[in-house]
């Protein structure tokens, strides 16, 4: 069980308090507003996910170590075509559900039944989330500036919650990365990023992504 | 339960065949992130038991008929490798693996916040690499760690421990001989923070006092196992 101090409260000092696991007691809920990754049970705050506990004023939350992307309207995403019907593509955007891309929102017009002549299974696309329903179904669109089928470069993946660290304040980190590697980089909200340029530059970007993923401050696992 | 009650499995000093006292657990190690392609994974050794659990999802549930409009579904597969026992196991599912998959799913459903992911599926694959009594407990405990590693929101972890009876003595964490020739077995799934019970099975007969003793052993052991789960999940970030 969790170690407690003399007052019967969980310890609130030391680094071990920062990393929490599901079910862990984070203290009295009095005066605290539960945020992401926590819930209030019988006047106590309880962690729901493995991650770093963050306390900002009265707001308490857990920044998870692993996350899955959840689509929101207007998100820029990189997806893979997973299947198609006569007038619809099904797109894997890294969310719990595939998104739908209707022919009317696609990159071009084709005869009814000709979806595969425009984009086939396995193709990567840059698209934008147009609509998310209550049941988490989402519709993506390729109508918009810069939205297209991806024909060159590579696609790297990062947990969505680490994107902020990659981009930096005001986009500083990402700008520096682009300058250092001379690569074209598009970071999508679903944790995927398109990288195009010289091989050496692409490898540098890949190293950066891996170093972020393996950073002990944000990613921890281990053995006992 | 083999029912061979005359096999001597505990000596005059109260020590068992492997030198443990009645309330002692076998050695446990837990490691996370062992399957790189999975969203969460865990390798757990418990004595000579070894299990690898991989968690994938939440993902779109296929076939569509298994989708639930108000919550996610857990797709649990428990499987013993053909080489996991001294007698070769026939590969594939059998009555026992289906039963263990079902009880594991039921136990985990009580802690995972499934309502956050309607119409989706979370796939949990439990592979037993080496089996020596208590594999359902190892599988359930390791699955709980793997779910936490995958970032799936849960109200608590599930710790599963079994106690039983050998030569009329209640002991904790039966090994293979004790399981085969003992008189009873009581595996339990416990939520360590609240003390709630999410899984209980009993094989053989226990009196009321023996049941209470086995219950207490399981509750105590669950705290010890939970500590190791915390250490494994927190890794060396706290060092």
CATH number at residue B149: 3.30.230.70
Identify the closest residue of chain A to B121 by CA–CA distance.
A96
Quick check: A37 contacting B, CB < 8 Å? yes
* pLDDT score, position B3: 52
Architecture category of domain A15-64 in CATH = Beta Barrel (2.40)
**Nearest CA among B71, B55, B56, B144 for reference residue B108:** B144
pLDDT tens digits, one per residue of B38-97: 999 999 999 999 999 999 989 888 888 999 988 999 999 999 999 999 889 889 889 999
Provide the terminal-to-terminal Cα distance of chain A, rounded to the nearest Å: 16
Q: How far is B57 from chain A (nearest CA, A)?
A: 7
Would you say A152 and A135 are in contact if contact means Cβ atoms under 8 Å apart? no
* pLDDT score, position A110: 76
CATH 2.40.50.140 domain span(s) along chain A: 76-150
Query: What is the extent of the structural domain holding B76?
Result: 28-232
* pLDDT score, position A16: 40
* pLDDT score, position B154: 95
The closest CB to that of B29, out of A15, A68, A223, belongs to A223
Task: List the pLDDT tens digit at each of the 224 positions of chain A.
Answer: 444 444 444 444 443 447 899 999 998 988 899 998 999 998 999 999 999 898 888 899 998 888 888 899 999 999 999 999 999 999 999 888 889 999 999 987 778 888 888 999 999 999 999 999 877 789 999 999 999 999 999 999 988 888 888 998 889 999 999 999 999 999 999 999 999 999 999 999 999 998 887 764 554 443 33
CATH 3.30.1370.10 domain span(s) along chain A: 154-213
Using an 8 Å CB-CB cutoff, list chain A residues near B147.
22
Q: Please identify among residues 6-25 of chain A the ones whose CB lies closer than 8 Å to any CB of chain B.
A: 15-16, 18-19, 21-25
What b-and-e string marks burial along B69-95, b requiring 16 or more CB atoms within 10 Å of the CB?
A: eebbbbbbbbbbbeebeeeebeeeeee
Q: How far is A41 from chain B (nearest CA, A)?
A: 10
CATH 2.40.50.100 domain span(s) along chain A: 15-64
Query: What is the spatial distance between Cα B37 and Cα A4, in angstroms, rounded to a whole number?
Result: 37
Query: What is the spatial distance between Cα B182 and Cα B5, in angstroms, rounded to a whole number?
Result: 7
The alpha-helical segments, DSSP class H, found in chain B are 95-109, 135-149, 176-181, 208-234
Q: Beta-carbon neighbour count of residue A15 at 10 Å?
A: 10
Interface test with A, best of B153, B190, B198, B221 (most A CBs within 10 A): B153
pLDDT < 50: residue spans in chain B: 236-239
Q: Is residue B226 part of a domain?
A: yes
Identify the closest residue of chain A to B223 by CA–CA distance.
A1
Q: Is B103 exposed, middle or buried (0-12, 13-18, 19+ CB in 10 A)?
A: buried
What sign results for the dihedral spanned by CA atoms A201, A203, A206, A212?
A: negative
**Subunit contact A220:B236, Cβ cutoff 8 A:** yes
Identify the closest residue of chain B to A221 by CA–CA distance.
B235
User: Domain A154-213 belongs to what topology?
Assistant: Ribosomal Protein S8; Chain: A, domain 1 (3.30.1370)
Would you say B145 and B30 are in contact if contact means Cβ atoms under 8 Å apart? yes
**Subunit contact A97:B229, Cβ cutoff 8 A:** no
Using an 8 Å CB-CB cutoff, list chain A residues near B231.
224
Identify the closest residue of chain B to A18 by CA–CA distance.
B238
**Nearest CA among A125, A41, A192 for reference residue B155:** A41
* pLDDT score, position A66: 83
The complex's ipTM works out to 0.85
Q: Is residue B107 part of a domain?
A: yes
Quick check: A221 contacting B, CB < 8 Å? yes
* pLDDT score, position A109: 78
Q: How many domains does chain B have?
A: 1
The closest CB to that of B233, out of A25, A46, A50, belongs to A50
The CATH homologous superfamily of the domain defined by A76-150: Nucleic acid-binding proteins (2.40.50.140)
Q: How far is A220 from chain B (nearest CA, A)?
A: 6
**Subunit contact A216:B237, Cβ cutoff 8 A:** yes
What sign results for the dihedral spanned by CA atoms A7, A10, A12, A16?
A: positive
Quick check: A145 contacting B, CB < 8 Å? no
Q: Is residue B42 part of a domain?
A: yes
């Amino acid at each position: 069980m969790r170690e407690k101090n003399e007052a019967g409260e969980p310890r609130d000092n030391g680094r071990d308090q920062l990393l929490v696991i599901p079910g862990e007691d984070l203290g009295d809920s009095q005066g605290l507003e539960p945020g992401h990754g926590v819930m209030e049970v019988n006047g106590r705050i309880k962690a729901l996910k493995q991650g770093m506990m963050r306390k900002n004023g009265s707001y308490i939350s857990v920044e998870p170590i692993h996350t899955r992307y959840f689509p929101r309207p207007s998100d820029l995403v990189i997806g893979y075509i997973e299947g198609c019907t006569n007038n619809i593509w099904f797109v894997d955007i890294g969310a719990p559900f595939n998104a739908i891309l209707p022919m009317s929102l696609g990159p071009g017009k084709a005869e009814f039944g000709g979806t595969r002549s425009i984009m086939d299974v396995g193709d990567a696309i840059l698209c934008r989330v147009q609509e998310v329903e209550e049941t988490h179904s989402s519709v993506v669109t390729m109508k918009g500036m810069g939205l297209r089928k991806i024909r060159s470069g590579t696609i790297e993946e990062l947990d969505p919650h680490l994107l902020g660290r990659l981009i930096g304040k005001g986009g500083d980190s990402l700008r520096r990365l682009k300058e250092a590697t001379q690569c074209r980089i598009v970071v999508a909200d679903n944790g995927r990023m398109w990288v195009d340029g010289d091989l050496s530059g692409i490898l540098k970007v890949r190293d950066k992504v891996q170093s972020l993923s393996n950073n002990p401050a944000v990613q921890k696992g281990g053995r006992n | 339960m083999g029912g061979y009650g005359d096999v001597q499995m505990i000596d005059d000093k109260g020590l068992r065949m492997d030198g443990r006292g009645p309330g002692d657990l076998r050695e446990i190690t837990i490691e996370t992130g062992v399957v790189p392609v999975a969203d969460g994974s865990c390798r757990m050794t418990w004595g000579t038991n070894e299990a690898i659990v991989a968690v994938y999802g939440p993902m779109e549930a296929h076939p569509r008929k298994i989708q639930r409009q108000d919550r996610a579904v857990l797709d649990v597969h428990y499987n013993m490798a053909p080489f996991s026992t001294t007698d070769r196991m026939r590969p594939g599912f059998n009555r026992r693996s289906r039963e263990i998959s079902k009880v594991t799913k039921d136990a985990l459903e009580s802690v995972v916040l499934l309502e956050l992911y309607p119409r989706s599926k979370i796939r949990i694959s439990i592979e037993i690499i080496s089996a020596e009594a208590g594999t359902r407990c190892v599988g359930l405990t390791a699955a709980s760690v793997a779910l936490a590693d995958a970032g799936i929101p849960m109200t608590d972890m599930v710790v599963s421990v079994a106690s039983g009876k050998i030569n009329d003595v209640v002991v904790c964490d039966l090994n293979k001989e004790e399981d085969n020739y003992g008189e009873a077995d009581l595996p339990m799934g416990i939520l360590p923070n609240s003390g709630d019970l999410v899984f209980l099975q009993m094989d053989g007969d226990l009196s009321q006092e023996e049941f209470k003793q086995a219950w207490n052993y399981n509750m105590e052991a669950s705290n010890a196992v939970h500590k190791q789960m915390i250490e494994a999940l927190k890794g060396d970030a706290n060092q």
